Copies of this chain bind each other. A is one copy, B any other.
Amino acid sequence: MYVTISNEHKDQAFYEQTTETISHLRPIRAACGKHVFREGDKVDRIYVVVSGAVKLTRLLEDGRRQIIAFGFPGDMVGFPSHGRHHTDCEALTTVQLEPYQFSSLESGTGDPVLHKAFVQAALREIAAMQDHFVMLGRKSASEKVASFLETMAQRLGEPVGNYRQFPLSMSRADIADFLGLTTETVSRTISLFRKSQVIALDGAHTVVVLRPDALHAIANRDRG
């Protein structure tokens, strides 16, 4: 949820099929901290994340920031509005992106398989954003952070011993701007989870989920 595309990698099919169909466009790389595109840029291509991670952000004039989504491998990013990008896209790590010519995707004049995958990706994006609405509008800080960690674990987690572990490639400030909180609250909440043995940290950017059930309970019920 609230990830650009879906957790279900059935649609890995998208990437596999399409690289064969029209990979006229070479994969691109962006170093950590670099922008892939910026709000207002004309959209001639959209991207599928191959490796690494990106963040999609929107700014208010006064500097307040909202992160719309993170993009992980398999996610499609860069859906345009009126031919323009509507967010900034910045690399969280060194990232590889597979570009697709947008005009052919949009019009349906190009490869129909590719086109359908594009439409499906857009529809999944809408659904994911709807879930994120509920989180931003109606969940407490604990619920938000727990939901976020749970999603990340599902998305990026790998078994290590008896537990699942995953990297948090983004900063606390990024998490805060994604969840509509402050860095301090995010940090405090994560510390709380650590102290109550729900998760463990290895450095600030590697999380081990010790009690997935507890995490899930906090994500969906708690009010503190």
Residues in chain A within 8 A of chain B (CB atoms)? 58, 60-62, 64-66, 68, 79-82, 86-87, 106-108, 112, 115-116, 119, 122-127, 129-134, 136-138, 177, 179-180, 220-221
Q: Is the CB of A134 within 8 A of B81?
A: no
Contact partners of A129 in chain B: CB under 8 A: 126, 129-130, 133
Identify the closest chain B residue to A122 (Cβ): B122
A79 to B209 alpha-carbon distance, docked (Å) = 34
Q: Which of A81, A107, A122, A137 has the most CB of B within 10 A?
A: A137
Q: Is the CB of B58 within 8 A of A133?
A: yes
Contact partners of A79 in chain B: CB under 8 A: 123, 126-127
Contact partners of A68 in chain B: CB under 8 A: 130, 133
Q: Is the CB of B122 within 8 A of A112?
A: no
A42 to B84 alpha-carbon distance, docked (Å) = 33
Q: Is the CB of B126 within 8 A of A106?
A: no
Q: Is the CB of A64 within 8 A of B119?
A: no
Q: Is the CB of B108 within 8 A of A112?
A: yes
Main secondary structure of the interface of A (DSSP, over half): helix
Q: Is the CB of A86 within 8 A of B130?
A: yes
30 contacts between A and B (CB under 8 A): A58-B131, A58-B133, A60-B134, A60-B220, A61-B220, A65-B138, A66-B133, A66-B137, A66-B138, A68-B133, A79-B127, A80-B123, A81-B127, A82-B124, A86-B127, A87-B130, A108-B112, A108-B115, A108-B116, A108-B119, A119-B119, A119-B122, A122-B123, A125-B126, A126-B129, A132-B133, A133-B136, A136-B136, A137-B177, A137-B179
Q: Is the CB of B119 within 8 A of A81?
A: no
**CB of A61 to closest CB in B, whole Å:** 7
A117 to B102 alpha-carbon distance, docked (Å) = 16
**CB of A138 to closest CB in B, whole Å:** 5
Contact partners of A58 in chain B: CB under 8 A: 130-131, 133-134
Contact partners of A106 in chain B: CB under 8 A: 116, 119
Contact partners of A134 in chain B: CB under 8 A: 58, 60, 64, 66
A58 to B65 alpha-carbon distance, docked (Å) = 25
